[in-house]
Amino acid sequence: MGLQNPQQNGSKSDHGEVIVVTSGKGGVGKTTTTATLGSALALRGKRTLVIDADIGLRNLDVILGLENRIVFNLVDVAKGICKHTQALIKSKKNNNLFLLPASQTDDKDVINEDDFQKVLNHYRREFHYIIVDSPAGIEQGFKNACAGADRAIVVTTPEVSAIRDADRVIGLLNARGIEGLIIVNRIDYDLVRKGDMLSIDDVRDILGVDILGIIEKDDSIIIAANTGEPVVYNPKSKAGRAFERIAARICGEQIPLRTGHGNSFWEKITRRLGV
Amino acid sequence: VLSLFSKLFSNKDSQRAESKNSAKSRLQFVLIQDRAGLNNEEIALFKKEMIEVIERYFVIDHDGFDISYEREGETTTLLINSPIVTKKAERNKYGVNQNTQKENKKDINIQGDIPLKTLTLSEAQKLSNQVSKEALSHAKESDAKDNSITQNQTSETKLTLEVTNDAQGVEAIKDEVQTEAVAASDTIIQNSPVKLPRNKHAENR
């Protein structure tokens, strides 16, 4: 592809940083996070590759609206069926964003950690960031996705089952020497205020891990999934702004978390008025 | 007026039964099991045996006895919290009698109520080592060489046993021992490094 060595924050070496997005539990927003964060990083001018490691159940392509362009996939690259550059699909919306899709017909066990590392090594020098969308669960697919990761994003929702699984995954990541940071997805501050949803502080206390970002429950994410256009392209989306802040943090900017915990009188009044 | 408004809102909130508290306590329960890699039965046994050991030295409140696993960053700490009703007895300078280990708690001769503040560091460590030896034999992959004991100024009567995997934390607590050893106290924090059992367990699955 004839790319220069990327210069970037946060990485000690001249090659890009590999970030695995994982969760343990399914359906908490891993794929959406990967697609949206990848788009946000690309919009910041970072050359970004998103890899769908969910072999057999690929979805990152549809979330990015690239499903009709797939020719080769991750397994083809791993098995040497195609050149590593042939399998990449460039985003329609941003020249800095590329997708390496999963195979839809194979099984998760068709490649192992070594294969996955080799695939990563093809791309490391050509991208600032490589974001790997891990499958749910903690089996081979998860192990593959973690192979070669420099750090991890653990996506969770403020629910008992999701947090429990996140905790388990954090343990597995620690055992591999990978630092994990949390994205709390689908938080509903109305429910938090009523005491019917765990707060950001609760999640942080229970998991004992720092929070990288918070995504409020937001209908625009559903619309984005329908259209294949991640929320960062939607100027009205709160979630879009939240993902932009997360991307900035990944790039090393110090941006405080917005926890929606304001308890001042005026915040209460504005809430009351539904502003 | 403003604060009255604020009060009104917060009262409204606090009067409801909050389901998140239920979520929190249920989570904490399952996470103890997940992180420790122990099943229900093992935790019950661990709890029972811990109580037996602690009861050689203290009369404790069984209902308040609590075990939890806490993580901060990459450090996981086993916390054993036990409210003490009374301090049990003195055995030779409050240290550990050679026979103590064989003694059943009923056999312990209660000679007086010696407050913990009279403990010297070495005596405290002796006591600590004995309690921890048994405690740690239940924690897989434990490393008992860095036990320490410390005393905090507190009005509550509580025995807290901490097992952590962070050697630096142990040093910090040791320093505290020396500075606070003479302070009036009813709390013992026992701190000992333990290699994260959850990880090993997790790997094996």
| Per-residue pLDDT tens over the stretch A16-65 | 999 999 999 999 999 999 999 999 999 999 999 999 999 999 999 999 99
pLDDT tens-digit profile of A61-90? 999 999 999 999 999 999 999 999 999 999
Per-residue pLDDT at B60: 85
Number of Cβ pairs < 8 A linking chain A and chain B: 75
Report CB contact under 8 Å: A172, B202: yes
Measured CA angle at B136 (ends B195, B130), to 5 deg = 135
Average pLDDT, chain A: 91
User: Residues of B with CB below 8 A from A159's CB?
Assistant: 23
pLDDT score of A210 more than 50: yes
Selecting from B26, B34, B73 the residue whose C-beta is nearest the C-beta of A167 gives B34
Tell if the CB–CB gap between A208 and B73 is shorter than 8 Å. Answer: yes
- Contacting residues of B for A175, CB less than 8 Å apart: 196, 199-200, 202-203
Could you read off the pLDDT tens digit of each residue along chain B, which spans 205 residues? 555 555 555 555 455 578 999 999 889 888 888 887 778 788 888 888 988 888 888 888 888 888 877 776 667 777 888 887 776 655 444 444 444 443 333 333 333 333 333 344 444 455 555 555 544 444 433 333 333 333 333 333 455 555 554 444 444 343 333 333 333 334 444 444 444 444 333 333 3
Give the pLDDT of residue A155: 98
Contacts of B26 (CB under 8 A, 6+ apart): A160
Cβ B203 vs Cβ B162: under 8 Å: no
Q: Which residues of A touch B3 (CB under 8 A)?
A: 265
* Residue B133, pLDDT score: 53
State the pLDDT at residue B175.
38
> What's the start-to-end Cα distance of chain B, in Å?
59
- CB contacts, 8 Å: A196 with chain B: 18-20
What percent of chain A clears pLDDT 70, i.e. is strictly above it?
A: 89
Residue A167 Cα, gap to closest chain B Cα (Å): 8
Q: Give Cα separations from A76 to A105, A113, A114, A119, B5 (angstroms).
A: 12, 15, 15, 10, 64
Residue A188 contacts B, CB cutoff 8 Å: no
Q: Note whether A211 contacts B: Cβ–Cβ < 8 A.
A: no
The answer to whether A39 and A70 have CB atoms below 8 angstroms apart is no
| pLDDT band, very low/low/confident/very high, at A123 (cuts 50, 70, 90) | very high
Rg (CA), chain A: 18
Instruction: Specify the residue for token string 């934390």.
Output: B169
Would you call A206 and B31 a contact, using CB atoms and an 8 Å cutoff? yes
Shortest CB distance from B16 goes to which of A167, A194, A265? Answer: A194
**Contacting residues of A for B202, CB less than 8 Å apart:** 168, 171-172, 175
CA distance A139 to A172: 11
Q: Which of A164, A193, A195 sits opposite B31 (nearest CB)?
A: A164
Residue A2: the pLDDT is 37
